[in-house]
Structure 1
Amino acid sequence: MSFSSQRAVSAKLSEMRENPLFRTLAWSLTAIVALTSACGDEPAADFAQAQNETPTVLAAAAPVVPLFDANTALEPALVVDTPTALITRLADRSRDRHAREAQFQSYEHYLPLYFENRTHSIEIIDRVAKGGKDITVNITSLWPLDTPDFRAFYQGQAVLSQYWFNVDMTQVDPLHYTATVNYNAKENRQIQLGDRMEIEISPFMLPPVVGRANYYGTAFLYVVGQGGMVPWEGKGSTLDSFPLPQEAWLGGRTTVSYNYSNEPVHLFKQMATNLAPVNAQPFVEGRRLHHTDFGTGAHSESGNPVFTAQQNKLGPAYIARSCISCHPHNGRSLPPDMGPSERDVQFHVNNAPWADLHYTVNGGGQQSFRMPHDNGTNNNTQVVKGLPGGAAVQYHFTIGNASGGLSTTTPVQFTVSDGNSSGSSSYGYTVLSPPLLYTVKVGQVSGTTVTAHPQLGWILQPQSTSGSAEGAVRISSWTATSGTFGDGTAYQLRRPNYTFTGPVPANHSARIAPPLVGLGLLEALAESTLSSLADPDDTNRDGISGRMQTVTDPQTGQQRLGRFGWKASKARLSHQIASALNTDMGVTTSIFRVPDCGAQQTCPGASTELSDADLDKMVRYLAVLGVPARRNLGDAQARQGESLFGSAGCARCHTATLTTSPYHPLAELRGQTIRPYTDLLLHDMGPGLADNLPEDGASGAEWRTPPLWGIGLTAATSGGEAYLHDGRARSLTEAILWHGGEAEASKEAFRTLSSANRAALLKFLQSL
Structure 2
Amino acid sequence: MRNSTHRRWTKANRFVALSVAALAATQTLAAELQDLHLNFEPRTEDERLRVARATAAPSDFSSSQKFEELSAGAATVRALKDANAFSQPSGNLSFEQELDFKVGNGLFRKIWVSSPTSTLASDGLGPLYNARSCQRCHIKDGRGHTPNGPEDNAISMFLRVSIPGGEGIEEIEDYIATQPEPNYGGQMQDLALPGHPAEYRLDVTYKDVPVTLSDGETITLRKPIYTAADLGYGPLHPDAMLSPRVAPQMIGLGLLEAIPVEDLLANADPEDADGDGISGRPNIVWATEFAKPMMGRFGHKAGMPTIMEQSAAAFAGDLGISSPLYPAGHGDCTTAQIDCVSAPHGDGDDRVFEIDQTGMDLVAFYSRNLGVPKRRDVGDPQVLRGKQVFNDTGCASCHTPAFVTHRMPDRPEHSFQLIWPYSDLLLHDMGEGLADNRPEARATGREWRTPPLWGIGLTQQVSGHTQFLHDGRAQSLLEAILWHGGEAQSARDTVVTMPKPDRNALIRFLESL
Q: Is residue 157 of structure 2 the alignment partner of residue 438 of structure 1?
A: yes
User: Displacement of 1:555 after TM fit?
Assistant: 2.2
Q: Distance in 2 between matches of 1:252 and 1:669?
A: 9
| Corresponding position of 2:82 | 264
* Structure 2: gaps spanning 5 or more residues: 1-20, 42-64, 167-175
Percent identity between the two aligned chains: 38
Write out aligned runs for 1:681-692 (5 A): 681-692=426-437
Q: Distance in 2 between matches of 1:744 and 1:664?
A: 43
Q: Is residue 489 of structure 2 the alignment partner of residue 747 of structure 1?
A: no
What's the CA shift string for 1:362-383, capped at 9, x where partnerless? xxxxxxxxxxxxxxxxxxxxxx
Match of 1:327 among 133, 138, 149: 138
Asked if structure 1 preserves the Cα contact closer than 8 Å seen for 2:177 and 2:441, the reply is no
Asked if structure 2 preserves the Cα contact closer than 8 Å seen for 1:293 and 1:321, the reply is yes
More helix by share: 2
Relative to structure 1, the CA distance from residue 510 to residue 709 in structure 2 (aligned partners, 3 Å threshold; closer, same or farther) is same
Asked if structure 2 preserves the Cα contact closer than 8 Å seen for 1:62 and 1:550, the reply is no
Q: Distance in 2 between matches of 1:466 and 1:70?
A: 46
Match of 1:590 among 309, 313, 324: 324
SS at match of 1:494: strand
Q: Is residue 395 of structure 2 the alignment partner of residue 650 of structure 1?
A: yes
Q: Is residue 191 of structure 2 the alignment partner of residue 463 of structure 1?
A: yes
Match of 1:450 among 178, 183, 189: 178
Q: Distance in 1 between matches of 2:486 and 2:79?
A: 37
Q: Is residue 399 of structure 2 the alignment partner of residue 581 of structure 1?
A: no
Letter in 2 for 1:517: I
Letter in 1 for 2:416: G
Q: Distance in 2 between matches of 1:706 and 1:476?
A: 23
* Structure 1: gaps spanning 5 or more residues: 1-19, 31-60, 73-243, 298-305, 339-416, 419-432
| Corresponding position of 2:14 | none
RMSD between superposed Cα atoms in Å: 2.7
Relative to structure 1, the CA distance from residue 440 to residue 268 in structure 2 (aligned partners, 3 Å threshold; closer, same or farther) is same
| Corresponding position of 1:66 | 35
User: Displacement of 1:721 after TM fit?
Assistant: 1.2
| Corresponding position of 1:730 | 475
* Residue range with higher mean Cα deviation, 463-472 or 314-323: 463-472
| Corresponding position of 2:298 | 564
| Corresponding position of 2:502 | 757
Q: Distance in 1 between matches of 2:254 and 2:456?
A: 17
SS at match of 1:289: helix
Q: Is residue 104 of structure 2 the alignment partner of residue 286 of structure 1?
A: yes
| Corresponding position of 1:273 | 91
Q: Distance in 2 between matches of 1:672 and 1:310?
A: 37
Relative to structure 1, the CA distance from residue 296 to residue 265 in structure 2 (aligned partners, 3 Å threshold; closer, same or farther) is farther
Letter in 1 for 2:32: P
Relative to structure 1, the CA distance from residue 635 to residue 613 in structure 2 (aligned partners, 3 Å threshold; closer, same or farther) is same
SS at match of 1:552: strand
Asked if structure 2 preserves the Cα contact closer than 8 Å seen for 1:440 and 1:509, the reply is yes
| Corresponding position of 1:527 | 261
Relative to structure 1, the CA distance from residue 459 to residue 68 in structure 2 (aligned partners, 3 Å threshold; closer, same or farther) is closer
What's the CA shift string for 1:25-80, capped at 9, x where partnerless? xx9xx9xxxxxxxxxxxxxxxxxxxxxxxxxxxxxx993122256678xxxxxxxx
Q: Distance in 1 between matches of 2:72 and 2:188?
A: 34
User: Displacement of 1:497 after TM fit?
Assistant: 1.3
User: Displacement of 1:246 after TM fit?
Assistant: 1.6
Q: Distance in 1 between matches of 2:499 and 2:184?
A: 48
User: Displacement of 1:663 after TM fit?
Assistant: 2.7
Q: Is residue 279 of structure 2 the alignment partner of residue 541 of structure 1?
A: no
User: Displacement of 1:600 after TM fit?
Assistant: 2.9
* Residue range with higher mean Cα deviation, 309-318 or 550-559: 309-318
| Corresponding position of 2:44 | none
Q: Distance in 2 between matches of 1:716 and 1:71?
A: 36
User: Displacement of 1:245 after TM fit?
Assistant: 6.2
Q: Distance in 2 between matches of 1:539 and 1:524?
A: 28
Letter in 2 for 1:586: G
Letter in 2 for 1:66: D
Match of 1:492 among 199, 220, 232: 220
Letter in 2 for 1:720: H
User: Displacement of 1:321 after TM fit?
Assistant: 0.5
Relative to structure 1, the CA distance from residue 477 to residue 519 in structure 2 (aligned partners, 3 Å threshold; closer, same or farther) is same
What's the CA shift string for 1:271-314, capped at 9, x where partnerless? 111112341221000000111111179xxxxxxxx994532221
Match of 2:374 among 610, 624, 629: 629
Relative to structure 1, the CA distance from residue 309 to residue 245 in structure 2 (aligned partners, 3 Å threshold; closer, same or farther) is farther
What's the CA shift string for 1:155-189, capped at 9, x where partnerless? xxxxxxxxxxxxxxxxxxxxxxxxxxxxxxxxxxx
SS at match of 2:148: helix
Asked if structure 1 preserves the Cα contact closer than 8 Å seen for 2:137 and 2:144, the reply is yes
* Residue range with higher mean Cα deviation, 457-466 or 557-566: 457-466
Q: Distance in 1 between matches of 2:40 and 2:475?
A: 46
| Corresponding position of 1:248 | 69
| Corresponding position of 1:353 | none
Relative to structure 1, the CA distance from residue 320 to residue 258 in structure 2 (aligned partners, 3 Å threshold; closer, same or farther) is closer
User: Displacement of 1:490 after TM fit?
Assistant: 1.2
Asked if structure 2 preserves the Cα contact closer than 8 Å seen for 1:680 and 1:705, the reply is yes
SS at match of 1:571: coil
Write out aligned runs for 1:38-49 (5 A): none
User: Displacement of 1:559 after TM fit?
Assistant: 0.9
SS at match of 1:337: coil
Asked if structure 1 preserves the Cα contact closer than 8 Å seen for 2:190 and 2:202, the reply is no
Relative to structure 1, the CA distance from residue 618 to residue 69 in structure 2 (aligned partners, 3 Å threshold; closer, same or farther) is closer
Asked if structure 1 preserves the Cα contact closer than 8 Å seen for 2:71 and 2:420, the reply is yes
The alignment of Structure 1 onto Structure 2 pairs a total of residues equal to 440
SS at match of 1:588: coil
More strand by share: 1
Write out aligned runs for 1:1-400 (5 A): 63-68=32-37, 246-259=67-80, 263-295=81-113, 308-337=119-148
| Corresponding position of 1:218 | none
Relative to structure 1, the CA distance from residue 664 to residue 315 in structure 2 (aligned partners, 3 Å threshold; closer, same or farther) is farther
Which protein is bigger by CA-based radius of gyration?
1
Asked if structure 2 preserves the Cα contact closer than 8 Å seen for 1:475 and 1:496, the reply is no
Q: Distance in 1 between matches of 2:180 and 2:190?
A: 17
User: Displacement of 1:632 after TM fit?
Assistant: 1.1
Relative to structure 1, the CA distance from residue 270 to residue 550 in structure 2 (aligned partners, 3 Å threshold; closer, same or farther) is same
Asked if structure 1 preserves the Cα contact closer than 8 Å seen for 2:183 and 2:236, the reply is no
Q: Is residue 423 of structure 2 the alignment partner of residue 678 of structure 1?
A: yes
Q: Distance in 2 between matches of 1:71 and 1:519?
A: 17
SS at match of 1:264: coil
* Residue range with higher mean Cα deviation, 633-642 or 704-713: 633-642
Relative to structure 1, the CA distance from residue 68 to residue 457 in structure 2 (aligned partners, 3 Å threshold; closer, same or farther) is closer
